[in-house]
Amino acid sequence: MGVFLCWSGENSRSHQIAKILDKRIPEILQTADTFLSSLDIAPGAEWMDALKQALNNNSFGILCVTPENKELPWLHFEAGALWRGGEKDRRVCPLLYDIRPAEISGPLSQLQGKELNHDGFFEVMKAVNQLGASHPINNESRLTGYFERVWPDIEKDLSKVTKPPDVMKPEPNYNKMIEEILTIVRSLSKRVEVADRLEQVAADTVEHLATFFKPERESDPETLKARAIARERIVAEAIRGIKRLEKERD
């Protein structure tokens, strides 16, 4: 029996949330022991052996999922080790923070996740009470009372969770690339027949890129990534075309 708290990324939002749960779950369910690897593996212990033992001994796993770690291999590894093909006496629940269920893909999407809000977390606590507590609370009104007493503290803790710095690689300066393309085109204007074709290449490039410079605040990360890749391919293809035409000119 017990609750294994899965997280990834030292001091990430996932880790911060796991530490909150490690503190607050026993306040709701006094007989539910939690395991948090960053706190519960003793210094000098065989880390992987201790982790494997905890994965075997705990019947309920909570995956602390955020936009930053939803696709990280380690989270999937621990989820698979806990799930064991769906044994009836074991449960794995993705707990979603700042991310919606529809944004989860791959193996984790096969698990019934809950959002980290009042109602979602209460549902998780009811499930933990049945599978992760050594002495379950049989009276739901008592369980509700314990939960409502602790939830304001959880909300306060969550308000202090800090978002990690943006480590995304900055996109190339496509405006500068377009300027370079146009500069090359103008430099080749001595050969009218080639210059006309170069002008068309540049115009097509600008037209294609224009569709990818629209506001992207509402786009999901996968869409942004796809659009960035498309931009790079368009510019690269245009530059290759111009170089071919330069050779024709010479």
Between 66 and 11, the more confident residue is 66
pLDDT value of position 170: 47
What pLDDT band is residue 107 in, cutting at 50, 70 and 90? Answer: confident
- Closest by CA position to 248, among listed 199, 202, 204, 193: 193
| Sequence ranges of the domains in the chain | 3-159, 174-249
- Tell me the C-alpha distance between 199 and 182, whole Å: 8
Which helix (DSSP H) or strand (DSSP E) does residue 92 occupy?
A: strand 91-96
Query: Please, are residues 47 and 41 in contact by the beta-carbon 8 Å criterion?
Result: yes
Q: Which phi and psi angles does 163 have, rounded to 5°?
A: -75, 135
CB atoms near residue 225 (< 10 Å): 12
- Tell me the C-alpha distance between 91 and 234, whole Å: 46
Q: Which residues pair with 62 in a beta bridge?
A: 5, 93
Is 244 a residue whose pLDDT tops 50?
A: yes
Task: Give 2-38 pLDDT, tens digit per residue.
Answer: 899 999 888 899 999 999 999 999 999 999 999 999 8
CATH number of 3-159: 3.40.50
Task: Give 187-210 pLDDT, tens digit per residue.
Answer: 555 444 554 555 555 555 555 555
pLDDT value of position 115: 96
What pLDDT band is residue 84 in, cutting at 50, 70 and 90? Answer: low
For residue 57, how far is the Cα from the chain centroid? Answer: 27
Q: How wide is the angle at C-alpha 25 spanned by C-alphas 97 and 91, nearest 5°?
A: 70
Is 133 a residue whose pLDDT tops 70?
A: yes
Task: Give 34-62 pLDDT, tens digit per residue.
Answer: 999 988 887 777 877 888 888 888 889 99
Any long-range contacts for 20-23 (C-beta under 8 Å, 24+ apart)?
20/154, 20/157, 20/158, 20/161, 21/62, 21/64, 21/95, 23/157
